[in-house]
Copies of this chain bind each other. A is one copy, B any other.
Amino acid sequence: MTTALSAPAALRARAARLDADDPMAPLRARFLLPPDVVHLDGNSLGPLPAAVPAALDDVVRRQWGTGLIGSWNANGWWEAPLRVGDAIGTLIGAAPGQTVAGDSTSVQLFTALDAAAALRPDRPLLVTDPGHFPTDRYLADAVARRRDLEVRRVEPADLPRFLAAEGHRVAVVSYSPVDFRTGELYDMRALTGAAHDAGALALWDLCHAAGALPLDVDAIGVDLAVGCGYKFLSGGPGAPAFLYVARCHHAVLETPLPGWTGHADPFGLAQEYTPAPGIARARIGTPPVLSLLALEAALTAFDGVDLADVRAKSLSLTGFLLDCADALLTPLGFTSVTPADPARRGSQVTLRHPHARGLVVALAERGVIADMRAPDLLRFGVNALFTTHRDLLTAALRLRDLTRDAAYDPAPPAAGPVT
């Protein structure tokens, strides 16, 4: 005998079953999530990992307070940018010695773009995504002006065709595997291959991918990559970013920012800059140790975690949210801009609604944290380490209720500069 369930009841039963069968459920305890909050903004700022407060307290009170300057050696501060870089490397498919952490994504991007252009000095084009995150576009423009290059903005879907025609003039292509607005996932392997077929370099911004899905930068042959520490890596507000440079480029890598910590003999006080061997030459100045070691502690949330499992759960979560949206929100005027095809989906779902801002504000007041991107996109990030299917149904139901009841301000005042 079957019972006809209402859509919410059927979704609730499905969520309960999926969550009960989830082998990753215990990982949620690795995060200190506030009670009664559904946190769907881990693609913007990850929540506090449980390991961080005690680790940071140790850094502050024992390492800094008691160890003082000696902690640069005794507590491994000096090596931290390379050690944290290697820890991130394990999450992006990079063998040790190719990844460094310490500066902001924007600074690392500048370094990567400039260094990549220097590796292809006779090619006049820098190709990037017209829909790339603003800082990627602005820094591409800045590097191009400085190096007398021309920026071409080419949609990811058009990139192979563009490279087939103009690739011999392209120095570097700079893209993200995940569109930060729609969550669309592009084929890194194919696009990297197309760049290489043209003799160009491939630079990837992994901000919305690192920690969210398996990446394989070494195997794919990625030349350079950057990414931030505070989204899916949950390293804390403004956590240092990382820079990956494939080993084959190290010997000739020229950084535009030859700070003292990247010197071969940083305490030799030499007149001339001699770059350190390997990825250490991409170090710049003294890194923000407190933020860097908080990120290092945060990364322990991935201990023993297989990113293939993360990916499988993430797709289950985003697929479930798309089903919730289809059943509960489409009738109220929402449309999804995230691909239904799992192979083309990152770890977020984005819905379009003309009152996106007011709805996100009202959702937050009801304990569901999402975010919006102007003018009309609501973004729901899922981090498989702590998100449940039940979380997503809760979000969809609350969004349905407040839309149906018009229980939101259609033109809310700006809460502040961050929207």
Q: Which residues of A are interface residues toward B (Cβ below 8 A)?
A: 32, 34, 37, 39, 41, 44-45, 47-48, 52-53, 56-57, 60-61, 64-66, 68-74, 77-79, 102-107, 110, 130, 133-135, 137-139, 141-142, 146, 228, 230, 236-241, 256-261, 263, 266-273, 284-292, 294, 364, 369, 371, 373-374, 415-419
Contacts and interface: CB of A to CB of B under 8 A. Distances in A.
A68 B47 contact: yes
A83 B66 CA distance: 29
Nearest to A286: B238
9 contacts: A69-B369, A74-B416, A102-B104, A138-B259, A139-B258, A142-B256, A146-B146, A238-B288, A238-B290
Contacts of A141: 258, 272-273
A272 B145 CA distance: 13
A41 B64 contact: no
Contact of A105 (B34, B239, B240, B285): B285
A417 B83 CA distance: 15
Given A138-B273, A269-B134, A236 B44 contact: no
A259 B104 contact: yes
A260 B134 CA distance: 6
A66 B139 contact: no
Given A106-B285, A135-B260, 10 more contacts: A48-B61, A68-B369, A69-B418, A72-B237, A73-B416, A104-B259, A137-B271, A146-B256, A230-B286, A269-B374
10 nearest CB pairs, A to B: A73-B416, A106-B285, A104-B285, A106-B259, A288-B291, A237-B289, A72-B418, A135-B260, A48-B65, A288-B288
A130 B271 contact: yes
B289 A238 contact: yes
A68 B53 contact: no
A395 B393 CA distance: 66
A290 B41 contact: no
Interface centre among A69, A73, A139 (most CB of B within 10 A): A69
Contact of A104 (B271, B284, B416, B417): B284
Nearest to A268: B374
A354 to B, nearest CB: 17
Nearest to A418: B72
